[in-house]
């Protein structure tokens, strides 16, 4: 089993930043609603263990508080470009040191988080209303899928 101790401090930081970066890419794809979507990102960490089986790697990732630093990017476009590269690098690290199952779990966690963030807006009042995932949000999810190596 692969875990935090298998990575350098910088590598681990990169791996931890992959999922919330994907969520931030989706949040910034469409204007408005970032509070609900940010809450959804945190909720995704809590639910990750239920959805992805047993994994030391994901246990250690989800035990860390998701942190995002959107201030280092000057525009949503810059966030998207650099963020997707960041996600690609994190996936490459997991692929280089983890096993195929851990890689698949990490990929699915990143995409599930991005999808949950996009779907947070349509939860609406009592789950009865709210708009569907916008085209911009769906495009962001598709870009995240491409960055982790999954079909769009």
pLDDT in tens, 44-101: 777 766 665 678 899 899 888 777 666 677 888 898 999 999 999 999 999 999 999 9
pLDDT at 62: 87
Inter-axis angle of helices 56-63 and 34-51, to 10 degrees?
A: 150
Say yes or no to pLDDT of 7 above 60.
Answer: yes
pLDDT at 32: 60
pLDDT at 152: 87
Backbone φ, ψ for residue 29 (5° rounding): -70, -25
Backbone φ, ψ for residue 53 (5° rounding): 70, -155
Look at the pTM and tell me if it is higher than 0.95.
Answer: no
* Structure token pair of residue 1: 């089993």
* Structure token pair of residue 125: 């009042």
pLDDT at 117: 85
Name the percent of the chain lying above pLDDT 70: 81
pLDDT at 27: 86
Identify the band that residue 109 occupies on the pLDDT scale cut at 50, 70 and 90.
Answer: very high
Give the C-alpha distances (Å, rounded to integers) separating 62 from 15, 49, 85, 109, 119: 11, 8, 21, 10, 20
What span, in angstroms and rounded, lies between the C-alpha atoms of 20 and 22?
5
Instruction: Tell me which residue of 24, 52, 21 sits closest to 38, measured CA to CA.
Output: 24
């Amino acid at each position: 089993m692969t875990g935090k101790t298998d990575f350098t401090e910088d590598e681990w930081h990169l791996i931890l930043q992959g999922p919330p970066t994907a969520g931030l890419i989706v949040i910034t794809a469409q204007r408005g609603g970032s509070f609900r979507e940010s809450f959804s990102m945190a909720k995704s960490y809590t639910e990750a263990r239920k959805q992805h089986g047993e994994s030391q790697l994901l246990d250690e990732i989800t035990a860390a508080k998701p942190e995002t630093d959107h201030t280092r990017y000057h525009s949503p476009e810059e966030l998207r470009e650099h963020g997707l590269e960041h996600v690609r690098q994190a996936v490459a690290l997991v692929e280089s040191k983890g096993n195929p199952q851990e890689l698949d779990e990490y990929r699915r966690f990143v995409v599930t988080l991005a999808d949950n963030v996009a779907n947070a807006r349509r939860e609406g009042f009592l789950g009865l209303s709210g708009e569907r995932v916008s085209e911009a949000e769906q495009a962001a999810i598709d870009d995240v899928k491409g960055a982790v190596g999954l079909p769009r």
